Amino acid sequence: MKQLIFFVFSFICSTVTAQDASIQKIRLETQRTIKKPTDTSNKIWKKGGLYGINISQGSLSNWAAGGDNFSLSVNSILNTYAFYKNGKLSWDNTFDFNLGYVNTTSIGGRKNDDRFDFLSKVGHAISPKLSLAELLNFRSQIFKGYTFSNNAKTYASNFLAPGYLLLSAGLDYKPTKNLSIYFSPASARWVIVNDTALANKGLYGVTPGKKSKLEFGGFATVNYLKEFNKFVSYKGRLDLFSNYNKNPQNVDVFLSNTLNAKLGKLFAITWSVDMIYDDDVRLFGLNKTSPSLQLKSLVGIGFQVKF
C-alpha cells in the first residue's frame, strides 16, 4: 500500500512538473512571437541614408564617326536622414550632397553637379496627422561655377554665392509615413552672395555691392520618401516660395527627384532630375538678363551602399 501511494504521489509530481515546464515553454514562445529582437516599433530615432558614385570613361583614336578622343565623368550622391519621434514631439532632418565632374578633349573640365542641402523641421502634434512646426533650410554649393556660351565661360557661382537660408513657422501634414506636406504663410529667406565680384554685379536679386538680401513670403515644401521594395527606392522634394514684396505671383520653384534601382548588393542605377525656377536668377536669354527654367538630369550606373 505504501508503495502504491508513493508511486501515485511520484506520478502526480512528475505530471505537475511536466505541465509546468510545458506552460513555461509556451509562455516563452508567446513572448518570442510578440516581441522579436529586431522589433523597431518603439524606436525613438530612425536613421539611414545612401552613398553612390558613378564613373564613366571613353577614348577614341582615328574614329571615322568622330567624337571626343577622351572623356571622363564622375558623379557622387549622398542622401542621409535622421527622424525623431517621441510622443507628440517630432524632429525631421535630411542632408543631401551631390557632386559631379566631367572632362573631355573638346570642352575641358567642368562640374556638372554641385549642391548641398540641409533641412530640419521640429513639430508638435495637434492631431494624429497634423503638427505645428518650425523649419530651417540651408542650400548652396561648394565650388566655383561657370556658364558656357560660344566657347566662352562666365563666372556665375561659388560657395555661398548664392546661398539660401530660410526660417519659417507653419503647419506640417503627414497623411502617411512616407509623405510630408508643410506650409507656412510667414517665412523669412536670406539670399546670400558672399563673393565680391558676383555681388557687385547684383546677381541673384541682391542690390549691386550688397552681399545679402532678406525676403518675406509664403513657403511650402512637399517631401516624399518611399522604398517600394528592397531594390527600388524614390526620394522627391518640391519647394515653393512667394516673395510678398516683389512679384509674389512669380513663385520660386525647386524640385528634386532621385530614383534608385539596386543591381545586386553593391551596384545600382541612379536617375536624378532637378528643376529650378528663380525669378531673381537672371542669367539667361539673349542678353543674359532673363530668368528661365533650369533643368538637370543625370543617369548613371555605379557603386552604391545603404546605411
251-279 tens-digit pLDDT: 999 999 999 999 998 999 999 999 999 99
Dist CA 267 CA 12 (whole Å): 64
Q: Which residues have a Cβ under 8 Å from the Cβ of 26 and sit 6 or more positions away?
A: none
The Cβ of residue 230 has, within 10 Å, a number of other Cβ atoms equal to: 8
CATH number of 40-306: 2.40.230
What amino acid is encoded at 149 in this protein?
S
- Give the per-residue pLDDT at 42: 62
119-168 tens-digit pLDDT: 999 999 999 999 999 999 999 999 999 988 877 888 999 999 999 999 99
Dist CA 271 CA 235 (whole Å): 11
- Give the per-residue pLDDT at 282: 87
Q: What does the DSSP 8-state code read for residue 211?
A: S
pLDDT along the chain (307 residues), means of 10: 41 43 46 45 84 91 79 94 95 96 90 96 98 98 90 91 98 96 98 97 94 98 94 96 96 97 93 95 85 94 93
Residue that has been written with the C-alpha cell 516683389 in this structure: 246
Dist CA 220 CA 229 (whole Å): 29
Dist CA 82 CA 93 (whole Å): 5
Dist CA 113 CA 66 (whole Å): 27
Dist CA 167 CA 172 (whole Å): 14
- Give the per-residue pLDDT at 11: 38
Give how far Cα 221 sits from Cα of 133, 145, 185, 238, 302, Å: 12, 27, 12, 5, 30
Grid coordinates standing for 171? 503647419
- Give the per-residue pLDDT at 149: 80
